Structure 1
Amino acid sequence: MTARHPLRPLTGTRVVSFEHAVSVPYAGRLLADLGADVIKVERPGTGDFARGYDAACGDVSSYFAWINRGKRSVVLDLKDADGLAAAHRLVDTADVVLANLGPGATARLGLDGETLRARRPSLVTCELTGYGEGGPSAGRKAYDALIQSEAGLLEITGDGPVTARAGISVADIAAGVQVQSAVLAALLHRERTGEGATLRITLLEALTEWMHQPMLYALGTGTAPTRSGGHHPSIAPYGPFPCADGAVHLAVQNEREWLRLCTVVLGDAAVAADPRFTTVRSRVEHREELHALLHARFAPLTSAHLGRLLDGADIAWSAVGHVGELPQHPQLAARGRFVPVAVPGGEPVPMTVPPVDSSAWPPPSSPAVPALGAHTAEVLAELGYEEKEIAALTVGA
């Protein structure tokens, strides 16, 4: 049996990130999970403004703790000549430079991809903006909820006449995943050719990629998918149904499953032949009648009893979970998917290990969430700064 290699894929790779909020910090954390030395450059005083979004994790927010574990925090004043010079000196040690500063900021600071790669062609740079270069929206600020609205996600999310923002920062997450994927591809390209890459990604285009299916549905049918709460807009029955002691979320994908639901769970094969319910389309068209029938049949059953019936019929189902109970989820707990992670000014918090199990490299070992500027002196010393220079650069940091 081959022994597990102690190194992770990006061990020895340095990522310097001029980042804030969610999108690029999330990408950086994914790279840190793979072994990269991710150095997060923050402004003096408050640092990344996402540190203060809430007070759920000691001195930092739940957002910040989630997407910044395993990084090193360095405070530099990029508006100061010496601070900016230190940032450039740091960049000169990097394999990858990430950024999602305000529109035009990297160019003003000489930290844009073109400028950096002019002196180091092997460098990989990736800048995320809201809308990209050119077009009527170039230069506009963009945040997650605004992009959810602009890309049409709000239009199809909610219930009936009520629209809703998705409960997580889906535009930022979509962009962060794209940044990570592009950086990994660029590093492979450099390994093969010796040439780096200048990468550009936008929030709008990252979420638009995820909006393809509802877009195609709207183009093909002439109407956007209906807002249907927790139920699927174009498949039925597919959603949460109340029962005697709570609710069960079930999913019927095809006519074979529908027949089994009727015969095994409902005990009534005649329902399967009801012309209102014989096809997916007809069940969606008569969703109200279908739901009324299922509500009546499920009302006297406990969730455990209904779950056993659904298992017996080979129908996919799940409990209706609560987010605060995820660390105790029986499946996640049995597989050891949560580990304690240290946060500044608080008790360790549970966080998941990366969702990919690899035979080739180990998961990260208890990465901590950095306090603001915790690694400034350490990193500046690595760059060759003397103690007096470090002291001058960290005054007020």
Structure 2
Amino acid sequence: MNALGGIKVVDLTHAISGPTCTNALVQLGADVVKVEPPHVGDGFRHYTEHAGEPLLSVPFASINAGKRSIALDLKTRGARTALWKLVEQADFLVENYRPGVLTRLGFPIEELRRRNPRLIVISITGFGQSGPLAQWGAYDHIAQAISGIAALGSVDGEPRKIGLPIIDSFTGYIAVIAALAALRRRDACGEGEHVDVAMLDAALKLANQTVSVHSYTGRTPEGTGNRGFRMVPTSEFYPTAEGWIALGANNQAQVEAMLHVLGEEAMLADPRMADHAARVANYDFVRGWLEQALSRWRAEELEARLTAAKVPAAMIRDVGQIVRHPHIVERGSVAEVDLPGYDRPLATMGPGFAADPPQRRRVPVLGADGEDVLAELGYDAPAIAALRKEGALA
């Protein structure tokens, strides 16, 4: 997809939330130049599952393929000058430092926008540019904890985090929405802006329904564990004779269809199964009965029979099982990228929606694109050599 062809992005991000935003911009066709510290780069390069060349962890590769990397020491005058040249030609600058760090580096927001009035600055932080918590640091599990999301997953009072960096990733996508909205506004009025994106805000956006329920009832929503949002026992996870199944029988028609598939139509006469309210009120009985009924089935067979009967259901799979599923293969949801030093393509995810076949992109080696980027800014060979001698460019 080349919807953002010709759009230039200066990427001053690290870890997950910021790089997720710029990864989506790359997948939409933007030219993203990732500015990294010399020799160490983005800290995510040092994460687990290393493969290929040094400083190329697989998690880093998954959200940075297609970007170009330049290694600049922003403590030097030459590197700061080069970054200013990049900024003056850019459409976006995306950063996820704590508030104030850009200013300390010599790039205050006001000056960025003065030098390039069309520049859109996207600032991603844990808690935003303002408020009592603005200077707090954040990781994904910290955002899950403070936002109430970990409490919503609790079982018997023990909070549970979601097992992947969902807040980091969702914050990155919120930033993409904000970036595209700001680009649309700039196209209309010719002026850029500074967009403030916070992980805590994104987490609460994910939990929007519970925020509204609390506002209406005055009660704090309780943790649900594996129970479905409607709290009915016919819509949650169950073990079977082989594997686990997720049931989604929420309405009366779905419950009746499920009982028909199970060969248990007689249960429709039990008043504890009569309607949604009865099933919630008699949760323990219905849950126990379903555990017994489902124990005679295999999850894969149940999945096929229930979905054929229009009952939402899915066998609980691991990642390896789902990425090889014919549905994912046919839709082209998984993309392939080139990882330097790795002898075969690396699987990663495409843009997250059905689109043209994704372009095959390459994971950037730290600083590998520096000379090309500088040449595009007008630096000749002696000027680039001088930056290397100064230590501004690695």
1:74-153 matches, within 5 Å, as: 74-153=70-149
Q: Secondary structure at the match of 1:370?
A: coil
Q: Name the CA distance, whole Å, in 1 between partners of 2:308 and 2:90.
A: 56
Per the TM alignment, residue 394 of structure 1 is displaced from its structure 2 partner at its CA by 3.7
Sort the Cα spacing of 1:272 and 1:215 in 2 relative to 1 into closer, same or farther, 3 A: farther
Matches of 1:85 and 1:305, distance apart in 2 = 64
- With over 3 angstroms needed to count, the CA separation of the structure-2 counterparts of 1:287 and 1:328, relative to structure 1, is same
Contact 1:160 1:226 in 2 (8 A): no
Contact 2:91 2:120 in 1 (8 A): yes
Query: Residue 357 and residue 309 in structure 1: after superposition, are their counterparts in 2 closer, same or farther (change >3 A)?
Result: closer
- 1:256 equivalenced with 2:253 (yes/no): yes
Query: Residue 380 of structure 1: SS of its match in structure 2?
Result: helix
1:230-379, aligned counterparts within 5 Å? 230-236=226-232, 237-262=234-259, 264-347=260-343, 348-358=345-355, 362-379=356-373
Q: What is the one-letter code of the residue matched to 2:20?
A: Y
- Asked whether the 8 Å contact 2:49–2:59 carries over to 1, the reply is no
- Segments of 4+ moved more than 6 angstroms: none
For residues 368 and 303 of structure 2, what CA distance do their matches in structure 1 show?
50
| Secondary structure of the corresponding residue to residue 361 of structure 2 | coil
Cα distance in 2 for partners of 1:279, 1:266 equals 18
Alignment of 1:67-78 (within 5 A): 67-78=63-74
2:300 and 2:315 in contact (8 A); partners too: no
Query: Aligned partners of 2:269 and 2:217: how far apart in 1?
Result: 27
The answer to whether residue 51 in structure 2 is matched with residue 54 in structure 1 is no
Change (3 A) 1:243 1:88: same
Q: Distance in 2 between matches of 1:364 and 1:15?
A: 20
Aligned residue type for 1:197: E
- 2:241–2:295 CA contact under 8 A, matched in 1: yes
After superposition, residues 153-192 of structure 1 pair within 5 angstroms as 153-192=149-188
- The 3 A distance-change label for structure 1 pair 394 and 89 is same
Show CA shifts across 1:111-144 (max 9, x none). 2332211122111111112222332212222222
Q: Secondary structure at the match of 1:20?
A: coil
Q: Measure the CA separation in 2 of the matches of 1:342 and 1:91.
A: 28
Gap runs ≥5 in structure 2 = none
Aligned-partner SS, 2:272 = coil
Secondary structure of the residue aligned to 1:137 is coil
**Which of residues 26, 29, 36 in structure 1 aligns to 2:23?**
29
CA RMSD of aligned residues (A): 2.1
Cross-structure match for 1:3: none
Asked if 1:209 is matched to 2:205, the reply is yes
Alpha-carbon distance in 2 for matches of 1:252, 1:57? 43
Judge which range, 169-178 or 103-112, deviates more. Answer: 103-112
Partner of 2:384: 390
Secondary structure of 1:163's aligned partner? coil
What letter corresponds to residue 102 of structure 1 in structure 2? R
Normalised by the length of structure 1, the TM-score is 0.91
Whole-angstrom distance in 2 between the partners of 1:373 and 1:315: 52
Mean alpha-carbon deviation: is it higher for 387-396 or for 177-186?
Answer: 387-396
SS of equivalent to 1:199:
strand
Which AA in structure 1 matches 2:241?
A
Structure 2 CA distance, aligned partners of 1:134 and 1:322? 40
2:70/2:366 contact within 8 Å kept = yes
Displacement of 1:233 after TM fit?
Answer: 4.5
Whichever residue aligns with residue 247 of structure 2, its letter is L
AA of the residue aligned to 1:384: G
In the TM superposition, what is the alpha-carbon distance from 1:223 to its structure 2 partner? 4.3
Deviations 1:332-383 (A, max 9, x none): 123333232112332421123223234xxx4441011111111111101111
